[in-house]
Amino acid sequence: MNEKNEYGTMICPTDKVEMEKKTFSMEGFKVRGWRCKKCGEEAFHGKDAEIYLLYKKLQNQPAKAKVGVLGKSTVLRIKKEIAQTLGLEKGDDINIRIEPPRKVVIEVPE
Ligand SMILES: [Zn+2]
């Protein structure tokens, strides 16, 4: 996740000065971007903004997941878009808890 803090520079289209890097919090969702110290102009990182829009689209939208078996484990396959918006990668640890009677809550740590 270190690479998340390394991204290019942005020049303010108005002032022609390098903008300051800033992480915006959109309802708790982090979007990288830049802010101009002179005029206050803000710009969002294209890929982050794209993932944020996808996140908004998928929010509160029920999605089917497929149950599978891998060795002795039961695996749950979720849509690629959901994994992408949550930044899930192979090997990541997530927390799962059961809410009675038949609800499963999956939490992705920051
Ligand atoms: Zn500016």
State the DSSP string of 75-98: EEE--HHHHHHTT--TT---EEEE
Q: From ligand 1's centre to the CA of 42, what distance in Å?
A: 9
Q: Exposed, middle or buried by CB within 10 Å (0-12, 13-18, 19+), for 103?
A: exposed
User: Is residue 3 predicted with pLDDT exceeding 60?
Assistant: no
pLDDT at site 5: 58
**All domains in the chain, ordered by first residue:** 2-58 (3.10.20), 66-107 (2.10.260)
Q: From ligand 1's centre to the CA of 38, what distance in Å?
A: 5
- Ion ligand 1: residue ranges with CB closer than 5 A: 12, 14-15, 36, 38-39, 41
pLDDT at site 6: 79
Instruction: Confirm if 36 and 15 have CB atoms less than 8 A apart.
Output: yes
Q: From ligand 1's centre to the CA of 40, what distance in Å?
A: 6
**pTM score over 0.75:** no
Q: pLDDT digits over 14-43, tens only?
A: 999 999 999 999 988 899 999 999 999 999
